[in-house]
Amino acid sequence: MRSLRSLRSLRSSRSLRDNERVEIAEHIEALRSHGGCLADAAALAGLEAAVPPCPPWRVKDLLRHTGYIHRWAARHLTEQPGQILDGPPEREILASGATDAELIGWFRAGHAALVSLLESADPGLRTATFMATAATPVGFWARRQAHETAIHRADADAALGVRTSYPVAFAVDGIDELITGFGNRGKYRPPGDADGLAVRAADTGGEWVVRSVDGRSVASREAAPDASCVVTGAASDLYLFLWNRHDSDVTVTGDARVLDTWRSAMRVRWE
């Protein structure tokens, strides 16, 4: 899989349109690769294997959840609604889909259909999105589904006892989407007089900070030497850590309550 360009070049105002096209292609390739790896790991682990990062899920639940999300995302590309489409509660998703015997094939089919739709989509297509994390709706859905699938690929790998490792630039892109995308949508109130959570990718020099302003999260890409808590690690490790998938190989300094509060507020769920 090709490396994603640096976040700075992707957001260059001088050539945003060209860079957005490259970004879309690279996210689609990441979606294709991680979805295939997820299905392969699921087949090896077996449908009844536990998924340690997502108790009480088993592999069959992971496939049904992610397979539904792929189909839900695809509907936004085909139906082009003006607002985000509603979906059923998670419990209904986990009880639906294909039979167990057909489940892996059902997942692969939905994944392949989403990849195909994104590859053939008109760059000017207009459809609903729920975060301002890309210059176009197609770019948003390609990026969001690449990272949705990559993180759930880590869940499938965990069912095999394997820890996933990501290319540095892809992991940085995922950290950025989580912090500046989901982070800016949530409510984050650090405890007491604490001031801000800083995240630093040791292998790239990338830095982010999340603060609470008027009871809401405000995230940005900048150094924050005054932050009350600092999380440092390699980008791939930070990516898993911030998505609550792995707790080792990062260093936390300062007031750990700040991190605990943010991670609790940032548990992204379907419902």
Judge contact between 239 and 175, C-beta under 8 A.
yes
Instruction: Dump pLDDT digits (tens) for 88-143.
Output: 999 999 999 899 999 999 999 999 999 999 999 999 999 999 999 999 999 999 99
pLDDT tens for the chain, 271 residues long, are 333 333 333 332 222 234 334 489 999 999 999 999 999 999 999 999 999 999 999 999 999 999 999 999 999 999 999 999 999 999 999 999 899 999 999 999 999 999 999 999 999 999 999 999 999 999 999 999 999 999 999 999 999 999 999 999 999 999 999 999 998 887 667 776 678 999 999 999 899 999 888 877 888 999 998 999 999 999 999 999 999 998 879 999 999 999 988 888 777 776 6
Q: Based on the fold, state whether residues 32 and 148 are members of the same structural domain.
A: yes
Domain identity same for 150 and 181:
no
Residue 270 domain-assigned?
no
CA angle 148/153/158 to nearest 5° reads 130
Same domain, 153 and 27: yes
| The token pair that represents 145 in the structure block | 């589904």
Residue 262, classified by CB atoms within 10 Å of its CB into exposed (0-12), middle (13-18) or buried (19+), is buried
Structure-derived torsion over alpha carbons of residues 261, 155, 235, 144, reported in degrees to the nearest 10: -80
Helices of type H across 80-212: 90-94, 103-120, 137-159, 168-176, 183-185
Domain range for 178 is 168-265
DSSP tally for the chain: helices H, then strands E: 10, 5
Residues 82, 128: contact at Cβ < 8 Å?
yes
For the entire predicted model, the pTM comes to 0.89
**Where a domain ends, among 159, 179, 210?**
159
Distance of alpha carbon 53 from alpha carbon 37, whole angstroms: 17
CATH code of the domain covering residue 220? 3.30.1050.10
